Amino acid sequence: MINKIIALSKLAGISVMKYFNNKNFLLRHMIIRYKNDISPVTIADKISHDVIIKGLRHIDPETVIISEESRFNLSNFPSYKKKKYWLIDPLDGTKEFINNIPEFTINISLIKDGYPILGVIYVPCFNIVYFALFNESWKIESNGIKKKIVVKNKYPQKILTSRSHTNQTTNNFINKLEKKPYKKLKMGSSLKFCYIAEGKAQLYVRCHPIYTWDISAGHAILLGSGGYIYTLSSNLINYKLKNNNSFLIDSGIIASSCRQ
């Protein structure tokens, strides 16, 4: 199945790049609507969503699919369907996409019993795939070479923050870290998790609410490489579906190359 999911992520990436590379400025920046958190949804988000939904229904017609761009009501799902489901973000890093920054990704994950057991992240601009399966993580370079990836704990640390969602609380948290020196870098999308997973960075801090579809694929990849993700209160993240608020992590998260 993993090869089919990787192929599907690339297909969605191709559909997105048609708009990213489009010389028509208005077409590339076309915003369909704004969500409740004032984040934009572009035509590229919608088209990638459609491609992935269609592909997953063909690959795995029995499993529920939840997408950031879906309109759903969990009360309509039988309890057994909530135990295993696909969780996707068709275009993670929409603001980067709009601003012509190549750090956006296609995220597909499979959740079982509240745990991400499969994750695929495709980076369309670089034609790179990161994926996790059976508690191992891998990277497929643009030339097709596949290699296993593992975290690296080294100092000085490289600490990642969100390009679009960093606030003063995040900066204050980082400034209080005991292990110094460190280098702070801003980056968009789930690419931050991949950088930690392959040893290019050691920490990602976000003191701002985040949704599970933003992190689930990266969570799987980070776990498979030996890393961790926690809430700011040091709790493990649970993906079990209880209600429509199950997707929001209010406090923010810490992704790390080592146990906190």
Q: Are residues 189 and 228 in the same domain?
A: yes
For residue 146, the SS3 value is strand
Report the share of the chain in percent with pLDDT over 70.
Answer: 91
Question: Is the bond leading into 156 cis (omega within 30 degrees of zero)?
Answer: yes
Q: Are residues 110 and 187 in the same domain?
A: no
Q: Are residues 92 and 128 in the same domain?
A: yes
**Can you give the pLDDT at residue 179?**
66
Q: In the predicted model, is pLDDT for residue 49 greater than 80?
A: yes
**Tally of domains within the chain:** 2
CATH number, position 16: 3.30.540.10
**Can you give the pLDDT at residue 244?**
81
pLDDT tens-digit series, residues 88-110:
999 999 889 988 899 999 999 99
Q: Are residues 81 and 13 in the same domain?
A: yes
Location of structure tokens 């934009």: 40
Q: Are residues 133 and 61 in the same domain?
A: yes
Q: Are residues 129 and 161 in the same domain?
A: no
Distance, in Å, from the CA atom of 88 to the CA atom of 12, rounded to the nearest integer, reads: 12
* Mean pLDDT, the chain, integer: 89
Q: Which of 86, 87, 121 is nearest to 104 (CA)?
A: 121
Q: How far is CA 85 from CA 60, 110, 165, 198, 215, in A?
A: 10, 6, 28, 27, 15
**Can you give the pLDDT at residue 146?**
97
Q: Which two tokens stand for residue 215?
A: 């992190």
**pLDDT average, residue stretch 153-172:** 82
The parent domain of residue 227 ranges over 157-256
Higher per-residue pLDDT: 181 or 3: 3
Q: Which two tokens stand for residue 183?
A: 């280098």
Q: How far is CA 218 from CA 54, 138, 168, 180, in A?
A: 22, 12, 24, 26
Q: Are residues 168 and 204 in the same domain?
A: yes
Q: Are residues 110 and 143 in the same domain?
A: yes
